[in-house]
Structure 1
Amino acid sequence: MYCLRQWTLVFLGLLLCSRVGMAQQNAETMASAEAAMLEKIYNASLTDGAAYEWLRYLSTRIGGRLSGSVQAEQAITYTKKELEALGLDRVWLQPVMVPKWVRGKAEFAYIESTPGNTNNVPIRALGGSVATPVGGLKAGVVEVSGIEDLKSRDPEDIIGKIVFFNRPMDPTRINTFEAYSGCVDQRHSGAKEAGMLGAVGVIVRSMNLRLDDFPHTGSMSYGDLPVPQRIPAAAISTNGAELLSTTLKLNPDIKFYFAQSCRQLEDVESFNVIGEIKGSENPEKVIVVGGHLDSWDLGDGSHDDGAGCVQSMVVLRLLKKVGYTPKHTIRVVLFMNEENGLRGGRKYAEEVARKGEHHLLALESDAGGFSPRGFSFDCSPELLNQVLAWKPLFEPYLVHQFYAGGSGADIGPLKPNATVLAGLRPDSQRYFDYHHSDADTFEAVNRRELELGAAAMTSLVYLFDNNPPKALPPGSE
């Protein structure tokens, strides 16, 4: 009896070891197959990629694509045609009403040290700003380091003045998006806060880490400020900001003049551009990739966010090119109106909720076309651990920074109906040199970096499709 027990235990031990060994061998085989697929994806992107040429047309033939503009409508037509040429299962336009703000004539500004003694400085109206009076606006200047500094001032010092917000981006922040977040409130809400205190105009230092002559525009809001209290707001280049600050220190009684003729018009109809490959096993579950098709009217919007749009389009092209049949529906969405309203992202999320769709993954590219460094993930800790297991597959391609964090503005509204939200994270050091300025042009994009980003996105989509998250929200099965 004792011998029988011993042999039974030995047999069970051998059986367990065999099963563990088989499971380990299966896992190694799967990892090897996944590594081989990633290599195919990268090779296809780097030898026969389409992102760069698509971006060339979008940027140089169409140009800046402000919501509601003719150029935005041309971009919709162009990208829809290119998606249809890929032979997808479905391509369609999703209507959305968007704001229409127009810049008008070129802005003009100068610093007046004494009557007749002036220095011109580069400015650009902030998106959503009202115009100056027809003949322009000239007044004394109060320099502040941010909104809190403004609120600490004696209101008598603000009335009738132009408030100059001169808080720079923090150069010690290695993640430049953190530096941007640390001071962008003065651009977004500065005119509202200054208008409440009786200021007549606002000039904001450009969100840029280098010193140059490119003013950087961006969205701003008056909130619920009554129309009579709404004051014109413009961005000044970093070199211009330095000159204005230095001149003020030498002579606090200088005047600043600026003229802009921007206008807010009635909302107009526009569209999100959507294409998809139906899943072969679970078509009701969706993996979506996207970027925003609109851009500011300065430059041609190559980095922000033409790059993200063409990279997202290429994901579907690469999956077809390497012969991969998705198990879940893979969808690309080119969102309209991220820059000054987020209407496209909200509309898409509304339709997803209305249809009861569930998204396994929503991946956005909206941080420029620079070398990819990794991904940020907005999901539960348990799901993040599953994703981190794929990190070694990306390390040969130097895409090794996987971390919990934000995803993207356009996919944010999807959170109630998505398991994982993710953002492509390229090297961010040069992004704000170009962001929202005349410098954001096609010549600033490197072909290889752009195609590497497309390959990284495609690889992540493939891994999610081939290994869907184990833990899903209640009711999503």
Structure 2
Amino acid sequence: MRTVLLLAFLLVSTPFFSQTEDEKQIKAIYDEALTNGKAYDWLNYLSNQIGGRLSGSVQAQQAVDYTKAQLDSLGLDKVWLQPVMVPKWVRGVPEFAYFETKPGLTTNVPICALGGSVATPAGGLKANVVEVEGIEDLEKLGKDKIEGKIVFYNRPMDPTLINTFSAYSGCVDQRYSGAAEASKYGASGVIVRSMNLRLDDYPHTGSMGYGDTPLNERIPAAAISTKGAELLSTTLKLNPNVKFYFKQNCKQLEDVQSYNVIGEITGSTYPNEIMVVGGHLDSWDLGDGSHDDGAGCVQSMDVLRLLKETGYKPKRTLRVVLFMNEENGMRGGNKYAEVARNKNEQHIFALESDSGGFTPRGFSIDASPENVKQIQGWRDLFEPYLVHMFYEGGSGADIGPLKEDGIVLAGLRPDTQRYFDHHHAENDTFEHVNKRELELGAATMASLVYLIDKYGTIPIKKVKG
């Protein structure tokens, strides 16, 4: 009877001891992050001493130099800069806009040029306005009603969608492709409602493209604040003959050299298996890029520090990668993947933080069903930290080019309800980042990296024939 009881005890207690080891390590990670985290101090410098880090700018280079120096100070096995050519678009002097209800009676509205846009004529652009809900409305109106006018795209983000990134995806096409499509109908310019769920006076910039539109047919594009959009829309209903004026001085210059910043801890057992954690170092120029994506960069940097400080020695090679040029070109992510493939490097896992420094809620996982199930099986380890969302979905833009059979991609998913209040706008600033939320995010990322490193990923079985 005593032997039976002993066997029963061993069967029950074996998973318990394994679980306890993981619980202890994860608690040590969270404790270190919340008592001695470095992410907030690093972000303070990036945001308040350097500021907005538009690709190709002096500030972007300062950020490269600063983050490399901080990684050097952590005692990693290797830190280096990976060269990458990036576009250099400059905003110029601040934009100005108003609408005119009758000669001499004007109302100023806040706008900003969209990233990649051409400038208006030197004296500005003034024309009648045609309001549309989206690109699909252009064909319905036809060239006769659009030619020579400014197209006003006014489809708002859907407030009923709890996932605000889904709401963003539902209307961002008008920002990116709106100018290229409107120019086909002879429009003279476009104004786009900001991608923002809140009514405020902050215009939100973002990338746009002209596709194959010839240079001499490209038209200027600007974002208008949500309050400005509401006011313009209401005024147009009362007076369809409203004229809109805007002036912007942006310019596209020649590409310049920049860098991805990379730090590495070499794996003790499987050094050829590489795991990446990262965010993008560039930002737009209106604010200081604290949430997008200074937060993701400093969290990723702290992941390696947290593992070192808690005494964990990774089996696999861990890399932090601070990607350059996510916002207006994706050159950094593409270059990193290109170099990795040229070197025949074996990446098994990549985790990105690019959804702001808000309270972490979980992870989206882009992987095989077996690997998704494995990560979901660790949910209980995260629930004490109120991290409970583990679902199949997209990961991140910069790690996306690494995708191939077998690799596990994941994205940190914080609470998203406030993210688009700040996204690409003047109020994306350090004061809107909560220290504790930022540190919780770094600890959450480090905990997943620890678990993947300890247990590995599940290889996909190749089907012969």
Same fold (TM over 0.5): yes
Q: Is the aligned partner of 1:67 residue 2:55?
A: yes
* CA–CA separation in structure 2 for the residues paired with 1:255 and 1:469: 59
Q: Is the aligned partner of 1:406 residue 2:394?
A: yes
Relative distance call for 1:155 and 1:19 in structure 2 (3 A) is farther
Question: By how many angstroms is 1:472 displaced?
Answer: 4.4
Aligned to 2:346: 358
Could you tell me which of 20, 25, 39 is aligned with 1:37? 25
Contact 1:100–1:267 (8 Å) recurs in 2: yes
Residue-by-residue CA offset, 1:152-202 (whole Å, 9 max, x unaligned)? 212100000000000000000000000000000000000000011100000
Contact 2:292–2:355 (8 Å) recurs in 1: yes
* CA–CA separation in structure 2 for the residues paired with 1:397 and 1:62: 33
Of 443-452 and 410-419, more deviation after overlay is shown by: 410-419
Aligned to 1:420: 408
Q: Is the aligned partner of 1:333 residue 2:321?
A: yes
Question: By how many angstroms is 1:25 displaced?
Answer: 2.8
Could you tell me which of 440, 443, 448 is aligned with 2:431? 443
Q: SS of the counterpart of 1:211? A: coil
Aligned to 2:39: 51
* CA–CA separation in structure 2 for the residues paired with 1:23 and 1:314: 38
Question: By how many angstroms is 1:127 displaced?
Answer: 0.2
Question: By how many angstroms is 1:22 displaced?
Answer: 4.1
Aligned to 1:83: 71
Contact 1:271–1:344 (8 Å) recurs in 2: yes
What code does the residue aligned with 2:151 have?
A: V
Aligned to 2:107: 119
Question: By how many angstroms is 1:383 displaced?
Answer: 1.1
Aligned to 2:146: 158
What code does the residue aligned with 1:341 have?
A: G
Aligned to 2:171: 183
* CA–CA separation in structure 1 for the residues paired with 2:217 and 2:227: 30
Question: By how many angstroms is 1:151 displaced?
Answer: 2.2
* CA–CA separation in structure 1 for the residues paired with 2:410 and 2:223: 31
Number of residue pairs matched by the alignment: 462
* CA–CA separation in structure 1 for the residues paired with 2:274 and 2:310: 20
Relative distance call for 1:418 and 1:439 in structure 2 (3 A) is farther
Could you tell me which of 121, 125, 141 is aligned with 1:137? 125
Aligned to 2:419: 431
Q: SS of the counterpart of 1:351? A: helix
* CA–CA separation in structure 2 for the residues paired with 1:471 and 1:93: 31
Q: SS of the counterpart of 1:138? A: strand
Contact 1:357–1:417 (8 Å) recurs in 2: no
Aligned to 2:306: 318
Aligned to 1:105: 93
* CA–CA separation in structure 1 for the residues paired with 2:138 and 2:70: 49
What code does the residue aligned with 2:323 have?
A: F
Structure 1 portions without partners, runs of 5+: 1-13
TM-score, length basis structure 2: 0.97
Aligned to 1:265: 253
Aligned to 1:3: none
What code does the residue aligned with 2:45 have?
A: Y
What code does the residue aligned with 2:31 have?
A: N
Residue-by-residue CA offset, 1:200-247 (whole Å, 9 max, x unaligned)? 000000000000000000000000011121000000000000010001
Could you tell me which of 131, 155, 169 is aligned with 1:167? 155
Aligned to 2:359: 371
Relative distance call for 1:25 and 1:444 in structure 2 (3 A) is same
What code does the residue aligned with 2:370 have?
A: E
Aligned to 1:348: 336
Contact 2:291–2:423 (8 Å) recurs in 1: yes
Question: By how many angstroms is 1:21 displaced?
Answer: 6.3
* CA–CA separation in structure 2 for the residues paired with 1:350 and 1:457: 25
Relative distance call for 1:464 and 1:139 in structure 2 (3 A) is same
Matches within 5 A, 1:208-223: 208-223=196-211
Contact 2:189–2:221 (8 Å) recurs in 1: yes
* CA–CA separation in structure 1 for the residues paired with 2:93 and 2:371: 51
* CA–CA separation in structure 2 for the residues paired with 1:420 and 1:426: 19
Q: SS of the counterpart of 1:416? A: coil
* CA–CA separation in structure 2 for the residues paired with 1:354 and 1:347: 10
Q: SS of the counterpart of 2:403? A: helix
* CA–CA separation in structure 2 for the residues paired with 1:19 and 1:348: 51
Contact 1:358–1:418 (8 Å) recurs in 2: no
Aligned to 1:461: 449
Relative distance call for 1:194 and 1:20 in structure 2 (3 A) is farther
Q: Is the aligned partner of 1:389 residue 2:377?
A: yes
Q: SS of the counterpart of 2:411? A: strand
Contact 1:176–1:428 (8 Å) recurs in 2: yes
Relative distance call for 1:472 and 1:352 in structure 2 (3 A) is farther
Identical counterparts, % of pairs: 68
Question: By how many angstroms is 1:19 displaced?
Answer: 7.5
Matches within 5 A, 1:246-265: 246-265=234-253
Contact 2:367–2:406 (8 Å) recurs in 1: no
Relative distance call for 1:360 and 1:251 in structure 2 (3 A) is same
* CA–CA separation in structure 2 for the residues paired with 1:18 and 1:179: 57
Question: By how many angstroms is 1:474 displaced?
Answer: 5.2
* CA–CA separation in structure 2 for the residues paired with 1:448 and 1:339: 26
Which of 1 and 2 has greater Rg? 1
What code does the residue aligned with 1:279 have?
A: G
Question: By how many angstroms is 1:26 displaced?
Answer: 2.3
What code does the residue aligned with 2:233 have?
A: S
Residue-by-residue CA offset, 1:13-41 (whole Å, 9 max, x unaligned)? x99x9878645532221111101111000
Contact 1:38–1:459 (8 Å) recurs in 2: yes
Contact 1:288–1:330 (8 Å) recurs in 2: yes
Relative distance call for 1:389 and 1:19 in structure 2 (3 A) is farther
Contact 1:359–1:417 (8 Å) recurs in 2: no
Question: By how many angstroms is 1:369 displaced?
Answer: 0.2
